[in-house]
């Protein structure tokens, strides 16, 4: 009986610790799956901090000149400006570009 309770407690703690991430500045609770997804869910962006997400630079698109605004891959070349000046929509392959012959 005692053992079962301890196991249940440990599993519960593990589930809670594994599912939620607490933002550093205000302790706001978000899903762990929302961390390192290139989208800032915390006001302080602690869910996308470089210490937490070492692959941020390769997994996400950093808006040039922005204060660390990252975009998820699906936001790049989706014909919608997500960076302030739509930088992520530049250099996208287009149907017409594929037919262009470079000089």
Binding stretches for Ca ion (CB under 5 A): 34, 37, 39, 41, 47, 75, 78, 80, 82
Cβ neighbors of 85 (< 8 A, separation 6 or more) are: none
Pick the closer one to Ca ion by CB: 12 or 85. 85
What whole-number distance in Å separates Cα of residue 29 and Cα of residue 42? 9
Whether the CB-CB separation of 47 and 34 falls below 8 Å is answered with: yes
Helix (H, G, I), strand (E, B) or coil at 56: helix
Least distance CB 41 / Ca ion (angstroms):
4
Pick the closer one to Ca ion by CB: 13 or 81. 81
Least distance CB 101 / Ca ion (angstroms):
28
Pick the closer one to Ca ion by CB: 4 or 76. 76
Residue 48 tokens read as: 């996308």
Least distance CB 96 / Ca ion (angstroms):
19
User: 20 forms bridges with which residues in the sheet?
Assistant: 31
């Amino acid at each position: 009986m005692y053992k079962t309770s301890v196991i249940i407690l440990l599993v519960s703690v593990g589930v809670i610790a594994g599912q939620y991430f607490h933002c550093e500045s205000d302790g706001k609770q978000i899903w762990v799956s929302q961390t390192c997804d290139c989208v800032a869910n915390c006001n302080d962006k602690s869910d996308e901090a470089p210490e937490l997400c070492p692959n941020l630079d390769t997994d996400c698109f950093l808006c040039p000149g922005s204060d660390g605004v990252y975009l998820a891959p699906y936001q790049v070349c989706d014909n919608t400006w997500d960076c302030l000046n739509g930088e992520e929509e530049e250099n996208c392959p287009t149907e017409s570009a594929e037919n262009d012959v470079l000089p």
